[in-house]
Amino acid sequence: MIRLRGHHLLCLLGYRGMGYSPEYVENMTQIHRALRNAPDTTVLLVSGSDDLCDRFPTSQPSHCNESRVHARDNAVIGKLHLGVGQPATWAEIQQRIKESVEPSDITTLCSTCSWRSYGVCEEGIRSIRDGHGLPVVD
Ligand code: SF4
């Protein structure tokens, strides 16, 4: 089972191998690969720090518990009609994203995210809506 917070469900779609540190990238790549190869993997939705946040570098100022990040989690979970503590397979989550999220929603859901300008998250949602899974990044 992989523990993920709300906004990371969308971050994984736009993941292209970038991240906060080599260790963070290695862990995120591993999780991304596991979900891509086995979409029936169970994801447990959590509030606050998750299996990605666990590898956020201690040498950098953490934003994981800032209220704006929690607000982003809640916005994404609400959009997907999911709830914290609820397990779902990655395939079910992808299906909900396909049905409920438009690429343009990134602008409002993720208005405070510094990675947004790369445009890869919109691209990731478009790809899911077109019936593709996670892209190969490794
Ligand atoms: S814009 Fe930021 S928070 Fe939103 S999905 Fe992309 S990386 Fe994640």
Average the pLDDT over 74-98 and give the result.
Answer: 97
Q: Hey, CA dihedral for 1, 29, 102, 47, is it positive or negative?
A: positive
Model confidence pTM above 0.85: yes
Structure confidence at residue 6 (pLDDT): 98
110 lines ligand 1 (CB under 6 A): yes
pLDDT digits (tens, 9 = 90+) for 30-69: 999 999 999 999 999 999 999 999 999 999 988 999 999 9
How do the domains of the chain map onto residue ranges?
2-129
Q: For 16, what's the count of Cα atoms within 13 Å in the CB-facing half-sphere?
A: 10
- Band of pLDDT at residue 117, cut at 50, 70 and 90: very high
CA of 77 to the centre of ligand 1 (A): 14
* Averaged pLDDT score across all residues of the chain: 96
CA of 132 to the centre of ligand 1 (A): 19
